[in-house]
Amino acid sequence: MKFRFMLSFFLLIIFCQLSFADVSRDLIRPRVKWIRRMDNLKKIPDLYLKQAVMITEEDMVVGQEPIKNYVATHQNLFTSFSSTKSIKIFQHSEHKVLDLGYIVIENEKRNPLDSMLYVIAWRNVGGDWLRELDMIFPADHVRPMDDEFASLRSKWVQYANSGDPQTMASTLFRNDAVYVNNAEISRGQEDITKRFEFMKNSAFHIDLKSEYIMRVDDVRAIDIGNWITADFVGYYLIFWNKDSDGEWKISLYFNF
């Protein structure tokens, strides 16, 4: 069983290394397209999946129309975006990609002023790259961080492999947490517990291997890595938020 875990894991790494350049080039056009449409609100929904999620410094927005409305109320910011630079690609398949990079902000004279961190979960649908998850944060405080979440991920794995999604959700997830998988969204601990019912299968076994962690600010962090089962390997993204009592909790769990 362990051999199958590791074989799947290493095959995924080799595949990603071979295809990174091609996918990176493929994503240039949809990123440019996104920037150019920021002043055309009617076309913004076409860039997102129906149940897409946008997370910013101040809000979490779900759905094409709410995302369009959010952009409309912050249009001065979004229309100041001039270009993007991808720095890391996590490729699940030729149709599913996590894309990490920076957005350059320019003034009216097209002089660079600032930058924003972006994390995008892309899904290729009928030849078009659409956004399933869109995270945008000021880059000022973004930095790599030591893994402060190892024990919490171990608890996640322990609850999953013991068939106890209810304790997982109530212990590790915020009350208003969101789970996104396959363009389906579950909100709150109760709904997330229902989505994880498959963990009650006695044959189910999973592990999480963190690959990249960055602190967004003092109370938020993004944790990206692999989920691994006997037959499959995929990517997860956990958005950690520190509560008022100082404990890290999951605000969003995304995987494909």
| CATH class in words for 2-140 | alpha beta
For strands 248-255 and 233-242, give the pairing: antiparallel
Same fold, 2-140 and 144-255: yes
pLDDT for residue 202? 93
pLDDT for residue 108? 74
Q: Which residue blocks in 42-94 are alpha helix, DSSP H?
A: 64-73, 75-78
pTM: 0.89
Which of 200, 198, 203 has its CA nearest to residue 186? 198
Judge contact between 204 and 198, C-beta under 8 A.
yes
pLDDT for residue 21? 57
The one-letter code for the residue type at 84 is: T
pLDDT for residue 11? 43
Which of 67, 39, 72 has its CA nearest to residue 53? 67
| CATH class in words for 144-255 | alpha beta
In total, the chain counts a number of residues equal to 256
Per-residue pLDDT of 190-240, as tens digits, reads 999 999 999 999 999 999 999 999 999 999 999 999 999 999 999 999 999
Domain ranges within the chain, ordered by starting residue: 2-140, 144-255
pLDDT along the chain (256 residues), means of 10: 42 44 84 95 97 96 97 95 95 95 86 91 96 97 94 98 98 97 94 97 96 96 97 96 95 97
